[in-house]
Structure 1
């Protein structure tokens, strides 16, 4: 059986954004930022079309372009006709038109997402006027690109229950990040300067610290001297053969700052229909075994049967967003 239209559009959207990430992760690719913006915007347009189509019962007409034709009197006709492209195929609505359509529904985009897409559009449209090797523009493009992928992952999960968090991410090796001194002293042209200021203005939108969306994501590196043998990469795992790494109480609390009372307080302020009822606990309890969202602190760390208290990472809100109505 052929998948529904919205699912096919989502598949194409994921393919486009994945291609964008793969291109961006090629350090020797000279046209990396501009190509990422082009492919990522294509992916976003397909994702928004999928949402519009899904909300309209997979009716293709929801994303087709219709226009009036001049009558014999020269006035526009009351009847609307399907607009065709030069190849004779039906035209579909643009990214901007998708955003306008979603503004009419509860699925309207957050301002951070809209500003991020506008910034990517500016990078694409102005690509003939600047060189992305410029350290300032390269850093801006990098932060906008990381946020575009993050926002895409969040909405794909919210709208279509597709979890891309483990398969889609921007890797960003060291060579992508210009040293701070280089970024501060670079000389820019007038065109570059105007674009830099415009991108900065888009990123200054007042945001909600608890929102899973962002206009740009700041990437920071910390370099420390060490011996090669004492500086392995680490990852949280339950593998008994893995290298053991000890975290201090301060490290854990920094990553999981909310206890149960604080979580409920945050959710009550975030959702209009939140209640501490069976529905809430049915959603919450499975998250306690996922260290992306929660971690238990035991009175006796060596005894799993000892009294414990659960703490939560703010990322847990991205899960509840799919089940509750935002204020």
Structure 2
């Protein structure tokens, strides 16, 4: 049985984003930043068209472009006619029109997703102004590409129950192609300067308040020596006979990055019905004894009666998801 039309758009979107990822993961490909932007935007347009179609009950009319024609008097006609392209085929709405159609619905794109797409469009539209992306622009594109794929996976799962996370492995870190130190900008043209600043401003204008979605994601690679044959698996346990592993302060903060204020802010941004009330504390307090979710840091580490501050792991979201409604 042939799948519904909206799922055929999703399949094409998945093929386009996969092509974008495969091209980007080829470090010797000279046009990879621009190509990724082109293919990724095509993937997003197909994905959004799939959502528009699904919401319209697969009525293809929802994707058509209509316009008036001049009457004999020269005034535009009241009747709207289907627009066609140079090949005589029906025209379909653009990426921007898809975003506008979803604007007033529950599927409205989160602000970070829109900003990410704006940034990719800027790279695509301005690619004619540079021959090879310099180090700063390459780094920016990498961060935008990682966020774009992550956002694509999240919305595909939320809208269509399609999980593409295992087949979309982005992105080959720049650490494997260049020294790991921070890249200093070496701008070769005024056009690149303006584009770099524009991309930076897009990322800074959007507050971190839309849960899992992002404008840009920075990836860091840490290289450590490993004795592969002797490597051991590690798991959290309260068994007194287990081998003890000590975590540094930095390790703990990386594992438990949110304090109480951060947690409440993220929950408020994630759920439509979240309130800091007794119901919230009824869910939160039982988690305080489980290292999977929380960790207390004491002013005097050797004195459990000293002042403390609690920090939370992102795993707590899995618990709160069972009690609150996602936006």
- TM interval, short-chain normalised: 0.7 to 0.9
Q: Partner residue of 1:77?
A: 77
Give the SS at the match of 1:191: helix
Q: Partner residue of 1:112?
A: 112
Distance 1:195 1:269 in 2: 30
Distance 1:233 1:184 in 2: 37
Give the SS at the match of 2:46: helix
Distance 2:34 2:218 in 1: 19
Q: Partner residue of 2:29?
A: 29
| 8 Å CA contact retained: 1:271, 1:324 | yes
Distance 2:231 2:39 in 1: 31
State yes or no: 1:42 paired with 2:42.
yes
Q: Deviations over 1:51-87 (max 9, x none)?
A: 1111111111111101111111111111111111111
Q: Partner residue of 1:313?
A: 314
Distance 1:4 1:229 in 2: 51
Distance 2:187 2:152 in 1: 33
State yes or no: 1:146 paired with 2:143.
no
Residues 1:37 and 1:183: Cα distance change in structure 2 (over 3 Å) = same
TM-score in terms of structure 2 length: 0.76
| 8 Å CA contact retained: 1:112, 1:205 | no
Structure 2 counterparts to residues 174-189 of structure 1, below 5 A? 174=174, 178-179=178-179, 183-189=183-189
State yes or no: 1:197 paired with 2:197.
yes
State yes or no: 1:63 paired with 2:29.
no
Q: Deviations over 1:270-307 (max 9, x none)?
A: 42335999xx99xxxxxx9xxxxx9479xxxxxxxxxx
Q: Deviations over 1:234-286 (max 9, x none)?
A: 9989xxxxxx99574964774356799x9799646742335999xx99xxxxx
Deviation at 1:185, TM superposition (A): 4.9
| 8 Å CA contact retained: 1:38, 1:124 | yes
Q: Partner residue of 2:240?
A: none
| 8 Å CA contact retained: 2:136, 2:185 | no
Distance 2:40 2:52 in 1: 18
Distance 2:172 2:319 in 1: 24
Structure 2 counterparts to residues 1-327 of structure 1, below 5 A? 1-174=1-174, 178-179=178-179, 183-208=183-208, 211-224=211-224, 226=225, 229=227, 248=247, 251=251, 254-255=254-255, 267=267, 270-273=270-273, 295=292, 313=314, 316=317, 320=321, 324-326=325-327
Distance 1:202 1:259 in 2: 27
Deviation at 1:233, TM superposition (A): 9.0
5+ long unaligned stretches in structure 2: 236-242, 295-311
TM-score in terms of structure 1 length: 0.76
Distance 1:44 1:295 in 2: 35
